């Protein structure tokens, strides 16, 4: 069941999940819509390297994450220096907000889906594709795959409302707590 704006605020105040820093807490104004909450674009944009040599990605082989870390460039955008996304260009970005949907067995779990915004869609901007699910148990900022399918350059500016989060209840606990924690890897002073 999708949570309404009022229910999202109630759950946030009850600490059932978190969105931080959220742009407001009045469910009748931005960043809330009737059944979603809008999130903002962070300041870091990742631009994948243009292919300089033949590369064939094989997900069966280890080191894919390390490959992408090596073959992308990080840029910081500001209001004075936004990023101009040209047609057919893909970049990665993250939301300003960090979200957390804890796993628990005593309360209802929640998950979410990140979706685009109609205003950006009209401009040909996709802010994610194929991977909208924010799973129960996830904690962190949301990575966006932004591509310009329009015919004009599009400016990405920090803190612009870039996507919306639709939040749902998860029926049943995804993971039951183990009875024993023997052998746990627990560096002293960390837990």
Partner 1 sequence: MEKSPHVDHWVTVTTSSGMFSSEYAIALKLASGQVVSFFADKALIKEQQGKSFLKVTLVNQNPAQHKELVLLPTETFETASRWAEIVTE
Q: Catalytic amino acids? A: 145
In the structure encoding, which two tokens stand for residue 176, read together?
A: 């039951």
Site string for partner 1, 15-44 (x = CB under 8 A): xxxx-------------------------x
Count of residues interacting with partner 1 (CB under 8 A): 49
Query: Contact between 138 and partner 1 (CB under 8 A)?
Result: yes
- How wide is the angle at C-alpha 25 spanned by C-alphas 80 and 37, nearest 5°? 70
Asked whether position 189 contacts partner 1 by CB under 8 A, the answer is yes
Enumerate the β-bridge partners of residue 156: 83
Long-range contacts of 76-83 (CB under 8 A, 24+ apart): 76/43, 76/44, 76/45, 77/43, 77/44, 77/45, 77/156, 77/157, 77/158, 78/43, 78/158, 79/157, 79/158, 82/155, 82/156, 82/157, 82/158, 83/45, 83/155, 83/156
Site for partner 1 in 75-104 (CB under 8 A): 92, 94, 100, 102-104
Q: Is residue 7 involved in binding partner 1 (CB under 8 A)?
A: no
Q: Which residue from 28, 140, 149, 155 is in contact with partner 1, where contact means CB under 8 A?
A: 140
Q: How far is CA 88 from CA 67, 95, 151, in A?
A: 22, 21, 9
User: Looking at beta carbons only, is 120 or 142 nearer to partner 1?
Assistant: 142
The interface with partner 1 within residues 165-184 (CB under 8 A) comprises 175, 177-178, 180-184
Nearest approach, Cβ of 127 to partner 1 (angstroms)? Answer: 16
Which residues bind to partner 1, rule: CB under 8 A? 15-18, 44, 46, 59-66, 68-69, 72, 74, 92, 94, 100, 102-107, 135, 137-141, 143, 175, 177-178, 180-191
């Amino acid at each position: 069941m999708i949570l309404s704006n009022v229910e999202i605020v109630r759950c946030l105040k009850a600490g059932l999940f978190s969105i931080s820093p959220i742009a407001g807490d009045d469910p009748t104004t931005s960043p809330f819509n009737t059944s979603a909450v809008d999130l903002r674009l962070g300041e870091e944009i990742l631009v994948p390297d243009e292919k300089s040599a033949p590369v064939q990605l094989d997900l069966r082989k280890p080191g894919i994450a390390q490959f992408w870390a090596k073959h992308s460039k990080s840029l910081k955008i500001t209001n004075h220096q936004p990023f101009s996304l040209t047609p057919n260009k893909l970049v990665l970005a993250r939301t300003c907000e960090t979200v957390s949907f804890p796993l628990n067995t005593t309360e209802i779990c929640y998950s979410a889906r990140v979706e685009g915004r109609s205003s950006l869609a009209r401009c040909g901007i996709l802010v994610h594709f194929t991977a909208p699910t924010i799973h129960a148990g996830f904690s962190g900022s949301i990575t966006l795959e932004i591509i310009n399918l329009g015919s004009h350059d599009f400016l990405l500016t920090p803190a612009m409302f870039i996507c919306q989060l639709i939040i749902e209840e998860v029926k049943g606990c995804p993971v039951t707590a183990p009875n024993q924690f023997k052998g746990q890897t627990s560096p002293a002073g960390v837990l």
